[in-house]
A and B are shown apart, each in its own frame.
Chain A
Amino acid sequence: MNTDLKLAWRNIWRNKRRTLITMASIFFGVLLNTFMTSMQEGTYSKMIDNVVGFYSGYIQQHHPEYWENKTIDNTFQPNDSLYRIIRRIPTVTAIVPRLESFTLMSFGNNTKGAALIGIDPEKENRMTRLSHWIEKGTYLQPGDNGILLAKNLAKNLSIQVGDTLVMISQGYHGASAAALFPVRGILKFPAPTMNNLGGYIDLNAAQEFFSVPERLTSLVFMVDDYGNVSQTRQQLQRELGSAYQLMTWDEMDPVTKNMIDADRSGAYISKGILYLLVGFGIFGTVIMMIAERRKEMGIMVAIGMQKSRLAKILFYETTLIGLVGVFTGFAISYPLILYLVYHPIPITGEAAEAYEQFGFEAVMYFSSQWFVFARQVLIVFLLTLTVYLYPLVKIYRMKLTKALHA
């Protein structure tokens, strides 16, 4: 074994108890921070999945004015060459057409304003798994003339599967739109806010209803990986030019994005404090290590060891303590988190209600993305590097005659 490493390894075990306590503090710091980070990231990606997977997709393509003014006039007519261009982009994994607008829905004496979404039942189902959330009745067939209603909307209208809904709206260029739609099914979404949203009908029926044959409000894209979203959007924008507006999920839903960002910054503080404590623990140990060994280090330099070499040995000592702490932390937290990824923790009781009120599923999700772990290793490494400045300064400032006298 390398002599310097051997010396370092033996040195850190000169005071077993102190070293073990320091390693243990790093271990617990890593464990706790990994756990917290994993839970945060799990929750965030669940939130994003909810937004993206249940509804918005990662990217949407609109008429340039649609987002500012969501009327049926700001629609576009896709053609084959448009589809061909989009299909050439390898990161786009699904293209789902929609025609959405606002309507008045009524049944009996009840009338409610609600969103109406014209969908391609098959494509929509492949992306958002809409048929999964059918609580009563059946999903739409291709070419269907019926409607699916979100649970709370149906309840507010007091309408049941099999009843016929009256719908009124404004069509293309001010044309009036009115039609009857039999209720085929009731949808119950896991994300509670979605339950108030609206009704789903077949895309062709919607185009007919709004008198916009072949036109769409949006093309919704799924992307193979979350990390590829902004790059894919740029590529789409380049290929399609300014005739269309392209928006990513977080632009369409800034609330979720802001919530995640705010929560992240809050967590940085508490995690930072935890690591600060760990850092001071390491620092204390290193101070003692140096103080105890002043004379010994003086002798090493006196008999002919360069200070740089002594600095290297102390570097090994500091990082070894850090690495042992971090890797035991990793070894324990990794299987634990993998388990939790596959067995998320359900929340019960009042906490669960609070979660649902805010529109979340009452389940604690975890993430095992590589950076959850890598970040801890990096932070502990940076911590030990910072702490290492102390021995470094001490070595280069060491006055030989004084050190030998210690």
Chain B
Amino acid sequence: MKVIEVTNLIKIYNESEVKVNALNGIDLGIEEGEFTAIVGPSGSGKTTFLNMLGGLDMPTAGEIRVGGTDICGLSSSQLIDFRLRNIGFVFQAYNLIPVLTAIENVEFIMQLQGTPKQERETRAKELLHQVGLGDRMNSRPAKLSGGQQQRVAVARALASKPKFVLADEPTANLDSKSTENLLDMMEELNRKEQVTFIFSTHDQRVVHKARRVITLEDGLVISDERK
């Protein structure tokens, strides 16, 4: 079943005097349970594309359907709610709320969803154990390494039981060891729990872990390979 369906997606930035054609007509579908990497040279439109998929920005033309819903038709407050219930996010760095501990960060999103306290706690603990941070649950982000912070971010992204997780260069700020650990962990979650991951990267070592690799150039898909 398709989680995401993108048709003729176009994004033109025209805030400044020069218009930038960031996406030039992308057609794409993402299946449930995929582990997909978006690659391409700098400026090829990876971030722009992921922002569109996540409902963080609006396309100039085209359609994005998530689980059947045309997200471009939602009001901005409906869109926030849609993100909360359907999409998990992992950003490049400084993902977490600094004044909350690891477990509070994971619980936070469930709290936004209105999950009862007991359930929140159980699930947050379980997830933190899963990402290998069972012993750092009560640390604030500043006390965690970059790799550990990204793991908490992944745990938080999963806590809301989203349809898919978007990660724009989640390993860009990590050393190679942490990069490998994070990717292995994501891969395991994907395999065991059927979590759909879509992530962008520059890093070849990360790319080869993906089971589908979509390459962008000048805002167009130039190749789409499955392993």
Contact = CB atoms under 8 A, between A and B. Distances in A.
Q: Please tell me the size bucket of the interface on A.
A: 20 to 34
Contacts of A400: 56-57
Contacts of A3: 108, 111
A14 B141 CA distance: 13
Interface stretch (B63-71, B83-91, B179-187, B203-211): B83-91
List the 7 closest pairs (A to B, CB-CB), nearest first.
A304-B84, A10-B99, A304-B83, A401-B57, A400-B56, A303-B89, A304-B112
Contacts of B83: 302-304
Interface in B115-159: 156-157
Interface of A is mostly: helix
A7 B105 CA distance: 11
Given A10-B99, A302-B91, A306-B77, 15 more contacts: A7-B97, A11-B99, A14-B99, A299-B97, A302-B54, A302-B83, A302-B89, A303-B83, A303-B160, A304-B109, A304-B160, A400-B56, A401-B51, A404-B56, A404-B91
A296 interface: yes
Contacts of A177: none
A264 B156 CA distance: 58
B80 A306 contact: yes
A392 to B, nearest CB: 16
Given A304-B85, A304-B160, A296 B56 contact: no
10 contacts: A10-B99, A14-B98, A295-B94, A302-B56, A302-B89, A303-B83, A304-B112, A306-B80, A401-B56, A404-B56
Contact of A7 (B80, B99, B109): B99
B81 interface: yes
A271 interface: no
Contacts of B61: none
B44 interface: no
A301 interface: yes
A20 B123 CA distance: 38
Contact of B156 (A295, A301, A303, A306): A303
